Structure 1
Amino acid sequence: MSSYQDKKENLKTRLKRIEGQVRGLHKMVDEEKYCVDVLTQINAVKGALNKVGMEVLESHTKGCVTNAIKEEEKEDEIINELMDVVFKFTNK
């Protein structure tokens, strides 16, 4: 079971909106819209994806990570895995 289960519908709604934004970007490129306008939309999509990612990351930390530590699993391994995910997510 995922730790973001209670946010699933909200996440799916946001991802559908992002999907629409990406389709809009495709159309903008197809129509050769002004570069700055395309770049602005790309930045908006990146921001929206980052927000979704942060919600999933927060749920993972509060759910999966917390539960694993409470169950006395190898705390160092759990924290290392979390930090790997955080670094991958935040490095661009």
Structure 2
Amino acid sequence: MDHSKHTHRESDNKSKLINRLNRLEGQIRGIKSMVEEDVYCDDILIQVAAVKSALDAFSSSLFEEHLKTCVVRDIKANNPEIVEEVLTTIKRLTR
């Protein structure tokens, strides 16, 4: 994973992303507690589905921000690698 690139996010967007992650973290902790407390499997699976949906929403939001900021910037800078990067990201997100 290449961590050498950085993105400056507007504080409002960053706050929204962090809030989504905090909710996801809480949901995951809730699922862990349910397993520890031997809650009925179907009830746990309902929560797992909710987490998957929330994580998909987070990914979609982050990808939209990426397209509108980083990708546009790289296209304007004539970065020939950006199209391949976006295609790779789409493939990862749609697996």
The TM-score with structure 1 as length reference comes to 0.89
Matched, 1:65 2:71: yes
Question: What's the counterpart of residue 16 of structure 2?
Answer: 10
Residues 13-92 of structure 1: pairs in structure 2 closer than 5 A? 13-74=19-80, 77-91=81-95
User: What 5-or-longer segments of structure 1 have no aligned partner?
Assistant: none
Higher helix share: 1
Partner Cα distance (1:52, 1:86) in 2: 14
User: What 5-or-longer segments of structure 2 have no aligned partner?
Assistant: 1-5
Taking only aligned residues, the RMSD between alpha carbons, in angstroms, comes to 1.1
Write the deviation string for residues 17-41 of structure 1: whole angstroms up to 9, x where unpaired. 1101000000000111111111110
The TM-score with structure 2 as length reference comes to 0.86
In percent, how many aligned pairs have the same letter?
A: 39
Higher relative contact order (CA 8 A, sep 6+): 1
